[in-house]
Structure 1
Amino acid sequence: MNRHELSLVLRNAPGALARVVVLFSSRGVDVESLSLDPTERGDVSRMDVVVWLPAGRNPDQLVKQLSRLVDVKSVVAVADPARNQIGA
């Protein structure tokens, strides 16, 4: 499995976090950690999440799927190649 870090800007709205979590669940994404903090703007929050994807799955697909959610204002995969593999 490969470890990936994602950073999202998420609209502060009822159900926004739930929609992101349901997307992860329905695609078999294992969440290692999740941090959600409000921004100075107040209408959006920053979400940092570490996920495990099966070997061969590219995080780009997950980034595209997340960006289609109405509550996600932006999403990027944070590169950290030194810590991204287990069981290799």
Structure 2
Amino acid sequence: MTRHSLSLLIRNEPGALARIVVLFSSRGVEVESLSLGPAERGDLSRLDVVVDLQPGRTPDQLIKQLGRIVDVKNVVDRTHDEALERPA
């Protein structure tokens, strides 16, 4: 499995997080960590998630699938951002 850090902007709507988690579950994506908090705009939240993808799956595929969820406004792959890397 390969680990990826994603940052999403999602609408503050009932069921938004559930729809994202269902997508992860149905695609066999393991969630290693998840953090949800308010974004700059009051109608949006920021969801930071670290996921493990099965062999053959790319983060680009997952990002496109997440982008199809009506509550997801933006998805960024932050896997290689130095500020997010943790020492081993």
Relative to the length of structure 1, the TM-score reads 0.87
The percent of aligned pairs where both chains have the same amino acid is 70
**Counterparts of 1:39 and 1:78 in 2: how far apart (Å)?**
17
Gaps of 5+ in 1: 84-88
1:86 is matched with none
Q: Which range moves more in the overlay, 71-80 or 59-68?
A: 71-80
1:65 is matched with 65
**5 Å matches for 1:1-88?**
1-80=1-80
Shift of 1:36: 0.4
**CA-atom RMSD, angstroms?**
1.7
Shift of 1:78: 1.2
**Counterparts of 2:40 and 2:3 in 1: how far apart (Å)?**
29
Moved over 2 A (4+): none
**Counterparts of 1:80 and 1:13 in 2: how far apart (Å)?**
30
Relative to the length of structure 2, the TM-score reads 0.87
How many residues of Structure 1 are paired with residues of Structure 2 in the alignment? 83
